[in-house]
A and B are shown apart, each in its own frame.
Chain A
Amino acid sequence: MCLAIPARITAIDPSGETATVALGAVSKNCSLALIEGAAVGDYVLIHVGYALNRISEEEARQTLDLMREMGVLNDLQEAPTAAPSSLTL
């Protein structure tokens, strides 16, 4: 099924075209071509190398909770748990 993964922007390159995002201890680079005004600390949905859109911390938590319930985050032990205080992607 077509899922995008919530992640938190940890760095943006000087050109503003790409960002580094983190899910738990895993970091990835992504394009910012599809969103405007992204900032470090924002939560975004990642899909095939693009940040799709900005989401709230609460939406990120809900999405990850559902993915965990589905069992697709089982091998990602470092991903945040449901407790909002621990959502430090």
Chain B
Amino acid sequence: MTDPAGKLHITLDPAAVTITSTRPVRAAKVFVGRDVADTVRLLPVLFNICGTAQSAAAAAAIEQALGLTPDYRVVELRRHLVDTETLREHLWRILLDWPKFLVVAPDAAAMTQAMRLTIARRTALTAGSAVLAPGASVADSDQPAAALARENLAALCAERLFGVRPAAWLTQVDRLDTLAVWAADTDTVAARLVRQIIAAGQAGYGRCAVSALPDLSATDLDRHLGDDAATTDDFVARPVWAAQPRETSPLTRQQDQPLVRNLATDCGNGLLPRLAAQLTEVAHLLNDTPGPGVSPTPAALSAGLGLSQVQAARGLLVHRVHIHEGRIAAYAILAPTEWNFHPRGVVAAGLQQLLRQHGADRIAPLVRLFIAAVDPCVDYALNLPGSDCSLPHADDARNAGSNQKS
């Protein structure tokens, strides 16, 4: 069976890293010809991964195309909902996937509790209102219940992730030496993984020169996501900016935070800064600190056009819609995975450097960890030097601990 969600195929060779994708990046075309109501109903059904970010992006783009201006409280509430989804996605990685790299059991109990609390927060925020629908009215959120759910999430993460309150972690851990002290003194999976990477001298593994995607205006993006199918199809499949591949991820969002900025001095955009950025983002989300990515002011596009930018869990998500006489004339979605897993992008360049730094021997778990640190949001097959076939994911994770350098 071919997976309808598509797959990344990643091949490491001393001469080159090759990444190909079968992801259905042009899937949004399925909405062309449908009316707006039908599209709004079906879009979250189809794009159910990061469904909140997808719905928020769709609502903003469609509102702009229809000439609607959402109430600022609706915009703010949507941001809270997307942030809650981002928190859930990060905790999924940290509590269920990071343990595989230490060859310990996933913390399923903590993740179950995290799921309950994120659902409770979402329910309290929306209060039964369809706030993600275009033209939504202001919801009567249950703010005390939403705050309680966030407080309980912070307590959960203090116990199972940070070892201290997230706000205290942000204050105490601001550079490599304080991160190392925290990792040595804390008995959580996140701390142990950080400790292992520092001890093995792998903090800068995968460092490369691919730079962050700059802030882009709707006008900038509209030039590449227009109704011309040939231009748009190529851009959503293999996006570049100023002829260069770019990164959009928690690392680029958190790059100005003290810990991530200081780690970059020695480790660039390598493995440890990536994990640190995810932890930093979790701590900020639990504090309800506004994200560093400022929502761009909608540009004056032609009538019937709408373009939105939403910071989703894995990076920038862009929707562009053209509505003509109540029906979708064009719809394009640009997802962060296509930037980060571009054939010349940060994963390709980072893995090439990782191979140089570590050598091919027993590299599989490190490759998996680096890919997980960028987070492709899709299954992948891996071909490594000397392997005859794609490595199965589960076997690789079970062997993760055997790859450490001492």
Contact = CB atoms under 8 A, between A and B. Distances in A.
Interface in B15-46: 23-30, 42, 45-46
A47 B314 CA distance: 15
B96 interface: yes
A69 B34 CA distance: 13
Given A33-B108, A33-B111, A66-B46, A4 B2 contact: no
Interface stretch (B47-55, B151-159, B192-200): B47-55
Given A2-B377, A17-B108, A70-B24, A23 B1 contact: yes
A13 interface: no
Contacts of A5: 3-5
A36 B120 CA distance: 14
Contact-residue bracket for chain B:
35 or more
B24 A3 contact: yes
Contact of B378 (A2, A36, A59, A72): A2
A33 B5 CA distance: 21
B112 A72 contact: no
A26 interface: yes
A76 interface: yes
B45 A76 contact: no
A20 interface: no
Contacts of A34: 92, 111, 115
B2 A75 contact: yes
Interface residues of A, number: 30
Interface string A3-29: 111000000000001000001001000
Most chain-A CB neighbours within 10 Å: which of B5, B50, B112, B378?
Answer: B5
B226 interface: no
Interface in A60-82: 62-63, 66-67, 69-70, 72-73, 75-76
Contact of A66 (B25, B30, B49, B377): B30
B5 A3 contact: yes
Contact of B337 (A2, A23, A26, A31): A2
A3 B4 contact: yes
A12 to B, nearest CB: 15
A20 to B, nearest CB: 15
Contact of A45 (B1, B48, B92, B337): B48
Contact of B335 (A1, A23, A31, A63): A1
Interface string B304-340: 0000000000000000000000000000010101000
B379 interface: yes
A9 B50 CA distance: 22
Contacts of B1: 23, 26, 75-76
Interface of A: 1-5, 17, 23, 26, 31, 33-36, 45, 47-50, 52, 59, 62-63, 66-67, 69-70, 72-73, 75-76
